[in-house]
Chains A and B, each alone.
Chain A
Amino acid sequence: MLSAYIIHLLILIGIYLILCLSLQLALGYTGLLNLGHIAFYAIGAYTSALLTLSGVPFIVSFLMAGIVSALFGYLLAFSTNKLKGDYLALATLGFTFVIYAIALNWTDLTNGALGLAGIPKPDLGILQIKSNAFYLFFVSITAVFSYLIINKIVKSPFGKVLEAIRDDELAVRILGKNTFKIKNYSLAVSAFFAGIAGSLYAHYITFIDPSSFGFMQIIPILSIVIIGGIASLRGTVLATFVLVLLPEPLRFIGFPSSVVGPVRQIIYALMLLLILMYRPKGFYGKVSLE
């Protein structure tokens, strides 16, 4: 029983890890203050769920979840590339609300507030992932690959250009780089991984509804990224483990779930607030958020 619970937590950590690392790429490394990351997560989850429910093989819909999210990420970055700072933050936040409204109201496609039930567990052709232990293995491999790819990106010359854009966009443009294009790619890659995380979530829980993708859900992810440290992948990994596990003891103390939910949000929001007040770089951060 306990080991099943630990496996469940580890799967959640794996999914959060992909989500937070991808936000780190956009927010920490490129300096795009994206408060709409949850929208990409939602797009990935819905794309993958809808495709598999209509009979598309899992591996195709898994990749499509990333690709469709990346497409939306590119479009969002493309249409907001003139905006900076707070204005970009609000435009991307708005994107979350629009996607949420669509998930809730386009009943023919998304089944509205009732959500999509009976999403099949992954079937990789040769082997089927039925047990949670096996699913954990699959999530871990995906998370490790995501880490390696994002790590490769930020260490590459392209990653250095991203960091230069964050520090001084005008200077990079003077050097002849098309910064708009680079930012579009960065957000697209970031959205791709968020979509993948969404797909993993949908096939794990096997049920999705709009309430999992509300605006409030950005707070845990944002807390992890900022507390771990801006532009630090190591910090993000560490913070994901700590922060996902942190509210868990509440369940053992025996609070009802109507208390655990708000208290969990309070913990995350309070931690985010305190870190912004006293150490805006985060624990392993190299730079301050501008």
Chain B
Amino acid sequence: MSIFIQLLLNGLIAGAIYALVAAGFSLIYSTNKFIHFAHGVVVTFAAYFLYLMFAVLGINFCLSVIFTIICAGLLGWIINEFVYKTMRKRKASSVILLIASVALLILLESLILLFFGPSVKTINFLEGGIGVNIFGAMITSLQIVIIFIAIILFFGLWLFMKKTILGKAMRAVSNNKDVAEIVGISSKQIYAWSFIVGSSIAGIAGVLISMEQNLDPVMGTNLIIKGFTGSIIGGIGSVPGAIIGAFLLGLVEVLGIWFLPSGYKDAIAFIVLFMFLIFRPQGIFGKKDFSGKII
């Protein structure tokens, strides 16, 4: 029984991390309507930036975190401004944007690899050594912090989307870009803003991940795959759906490696992705419009 609770907890922690990635990703998808695969490398960038600020330069931790989140948002804005905007002007299809984002992912990952080298890095800010015992399962205080921050962040994001003008404008563009333009919302600005907000969330994800795991230059690929799969499970166009989907993915993976060798963890995610793409591409909570298009 205690093994089961331990697995459940591990799944919850993995799910929280995936959900942090999925939230930003699906926010960008919901307005921009293309798969921004390079979102994963923004998380890696944030983690390495924090490493550079805190562990190498020795700047105060809180200050480093704030800088990291701002810079991650800035990176998102730069990507949109200098890559995607040019392509959108040429009326590039979502497929071309997807390939470009894969190229971008590899490009930035290789740059990080070039500057920081392939060896794994650690940020020793909080030693998460002290475990807390819950029904015979161990969880570190750091992991509890991660789950709490994630939940608070999701609640804040939900409030942002429901109550603020910017959030409402994003939902309007997401729902119907042309009608939103008619009532005076500039879709171009909203695209840029969703990149800034989404990438800042990726920055927060990067900070939390860097405290929990070791850093390695290619971790972004893995993270975006999990975040993306979570979004597909929940329904790619809806941010809350993506978050729930990411938590579900975390649980499925952990329960999966109960039966299979742990090396197959990534393959499990992909088999789940495959199943959803084929049998229910709109996800659990997503809907299709009358023409079969996923909304």
Which A residues touch B267, using CB under 8 A?
Answer: 97-98, 101-102, 105
Q: Which of B12-20, B101-109, B152-160, B197-205 contacts A (4 or more CB under 8 A)?
A: B101-109
Q: Which of B182-190, B238-246, B273-281 contacts A (4 or more CB under 8 A)?
A: B273-281
Other-chain contact of B92, A95, A105, A259, A280 (Cβ < 8 Å): A280
Which B residues touch A98, using CB under 8 A?
Answer: 267, 270-271
Q: Which residue of A has the minimal Cβ distance to B82? A: A277
Interface size class on chain B is 35 or more
> Is there contact, CB below 8 Å, between A83 and B277?
yes
Which A residues touch B274, using CB under 8 A?
Answer: 79, 91, 94
B35 within 8 Å of A (CB atoms): yes
Interface centre among B98, B102, B113 (most CB of A within 10 A): B102
A266 within 8 Å of B (CB atoms): yes
Which B residues touch A133, using CB under 8 A?
Answer: none
Scan B261-274; emit 1 where CB is below 8 A from any A CB, else 0.
10110110011011
Interface residues of A in 68-122 (CB under 8 A from B): 79-80, 82-83, 85-87, 89-91, 93-95, 97-98, 101-102, 104-105
CA distance A276 to B267 in the complex (A): 30
Other-chain contact of B96, A82, A91, A276 (Cβ < 8 Å): A276
Scan B130-151; emit 1 where CB is below 8 A from any A CB, else 0.
0000000000000000000000
> Is there contact, CB below 8 Å, between A105 and B264?
yes
B163 within 8 Å of A (CB atoms): no
Which B residues touch A79, using CB under 8 A?
Answer: 274, 278
Other-chain contact of B87, A89, A218, A276 (Cβ < 8 Å): A276
A220 to chain B, nearest CB (A): 10
> Is there contact, CB below 8 Å, between A86 and B100?
no
Scan B231-257; emit 1 where CB is below 8 A from any A CB, else 0.
000000000000000000000000000
Answer whether A89 and B104 are a contact pair too, CB < 8 Å, given A80-B278, A97-B270, A263-B114: no
B interface: dominant SS: helix
CA distance A273 to B97 in the complex (A): 10
Which A residues touch B93, using CB under 8 A?
Answer: 85, 289-290
CA distance A269 to B281 in the complex (A): 29
Answer whether A101 and B277 are a contact pair too, CB < 8 Å, given A262-B114, A280-B90: no
Scan A169-203; emit 1 where CB is below 8 A from any B CB, else 0.
00000000000000000000000000000000000
Other-chain contact of A105, B94, B100, B111, B263 (Cβ < 8 Å): B263
Interface residues of A (CB under 8 A from B): 33, 35, 79-80, 82-83, 85-87, 89-91, 93-95, 97-98, 101-102, 104-105, 215-216, 218-219, 222-223, 226, 258-259, 262-263, 265-266, 268-270, 272-273, 276-278, 280, 289-290
17 contacts between A and B (CB under 8 A): A85-B95, A86-B98, A87-B281, A97-B267, A98-B270, A101-B263, A215-B221, A258-B117, A263-B114, A266-B107, A266-B111, A273-B83, A273-B103, A273-B104, A276-B99, A277-B90, A289-B96
Interface residues of B (CB under 8 A from A): 34-35, 83, 86-87, 90, 92-96, 98-100, 102-104, 106-107, 109-111, 113-114, 117-118, 221, 225, 228, 261, 263-264, 266-267, 270-271, 273-274, 277-278, 281
